[in-house]
Amino acid sequence: MIRIHTAFSDIDLKQWEELVSSSDVASFFQTLECYEFYATLTFLKPFVYAVSENEKLTGLVCGYVISEGNFIKRFFSRRAIVPGGLLLDNEISTDALQFLLNHLKQELNKQSIYIEIRNFNDYSLFRTGFELANFVYQPHLNFHVATQDVDSANMQLNRTKRRDIKLSRKEGAEWLETTEREDVKSYYKLLQHLYKTKIKTPLFPLEFFEKIVLSQYGKLFVVKHQGSIIGGSICVMMGNRTVYEWFVCGLDGQIKNIYPSTVATWAGIEYAALDGYEKFDMMGAGKPDEGYGVREFKSKFGGELVEHGRFLYIFNSRLYSLGKYIIGKLKAQRK
């Protein structure tokens, strides 16, 4: 018998943890800890739904609804994001997966214009279930860096990256983990500037960063030179499996022979290798048919290029297209 669990209070937490441990497509973003972290944030609305078959939990989806800006932009930017992909039992039935996805659509229909599921694992075995629920697969790339030990992780680096890290250290750059509030604020200012001038997509408020670094699963690695923060990365981790690089930035090209973004990413890889994690997930490298400068940067760290893609469901194609047009115009005005 298939049963949908429509609220957090209706989900067996022990079975949730067991599913995280046994699933081949588990990620930090589908854990109880991640959902509880989302629930502390004031700028988004978290959701979690699950499905069980014969009293056994076999699928779960955790994500959030978010929008930003003034009234017009908020209306057109309403979206439901599922980072990491769904948490699925390796033997979940196609019917149960469809039940879960259809319930997800039913719950979010009035709250968002579309649902985007960002896969960080291989969902090819489950693709039929998504397509039967009218989710459209979109190719999207990523890099996974093996982190067996520090020496092998270092040897995987492109020769230029190894040189850049050595030069940065020689010129006085240091990298360390921090939870200091002033460090978080300094890092956030760098990240804000990057998003405003180059990335031009919404950035979480400072609240997110202040809270994630105080959690047991979040890390802020900063790069310092002469006492000032010149770069850093925000990472989260799951068990002993994976370290995820959620955000990274640096004042590249401003200090001779120091490469803050490279060092910030290496700090996360080094941490993963030292603490026994299997891999370092770079959380996205763009669409394969589009040029993407960040992909070139990420490719130099010796990771495996994978295409796990995304699943998209659009509730209202007219609003979706109009929203993309309006937000695109607003971005252009900020140039």
Read off the pLDDT of each residue in 37-54 and give the average, rounded to a whole number.
99
Name the fold adopted by 2-140+308-333. Answer: Aminopeptidase (3.40.630)
CATH class of the domain comprising 143-305:
alpha beta
The total number of residues shown for the chain amounts to 335
Q: Angle at Cα 334 formed by Cα 331 and Cα 335, nearest 5°?
A: 100
Task: Check for a shared fold between 2-140+308-333 and 143-305.
Answer: yes
**pLDDT higher than 90, residue 327:** no
52-56, 245-249, 294-298: least confidently modelled range: 294-298
Q: Residue 148 and residue 276: Cα distance in Å, rounded? A: 7
State how far the Cα of 73 lies from the Cα of 81, in Å rounded to an integer: 17
Q: How confident is the model at residue 335 (pLDDT cuts 50, 70, 90)?
A: low
Rounded CA Rg of the chain: 20
What's the rounded Cα separation, in Å, for the pair 96 and 254? 53
Taking 60 as the threshold, does the pLDDT of residue 289 lie above it? yes
For the cut 60, the answer to whether the pLDDT of residue 26 exceeds it is yes
Q: Kindly state the average pLDDT of the residues 219-239.
A: 98
H helices, E strands: number in the chain: 12, 15
Kind of pairing, strands 136-138 and 56-66?
A: unpaired
Q: Which helix (H) or strand (E) holds 118?
A: strand 114-119
Cβ contacts of 88 within 8 Å, gap of 6 or more:
23, 25, 58, 59, 60, 97, 123, 126
Q: What percent of the chain lies above the pLDDT cut of 90?
A: 90
Task: Report the alpha-carbon distance of residue 51 to residue 59 in Å, rounded.
Answer: 5
Q: What are the structural domain ranges in the chain?
A: 2-140+308-333, 143-305
pLDDT band at 333 (very low <50, low <70, confident <90, very high): low
Residues 118-155: tens digit of each pLDDT? 999 999 999 999 999 999 999 999 999 999 999 999 99
Share of the chain above pLDDT 70, in %: 98
> Under a CB-based contact definition with an 8 Å cutoff, are residues 209 and 188 in contact?
yes
Has this prediction a pTM greater than 0.85?
Answer: yes
At 39, list the tokens.
């629930």
Nearest to 254 by CA among 168, 177, 188: 168
Residue type, 161: K
Judge whether residue 330 has pLDDT over 70. no
Amino acid sitting at position 160:
T
The yes-or-no verdict on residue 297 having pLDDT over 80 is: yes
Report whether 230 contacts 251 (CB < 8 A): yes
Q: What is the pLDDT of residue 94?
A: 97
Distances (CA, A) of 75 to 79, 109, 295: 10, 14, 31
Parallel, antiparallel, or unpaired: how do β-strands 279-281 and 242-250 relate? parallel
The mean predicted confidence, pLDDT, of the chain is: 96
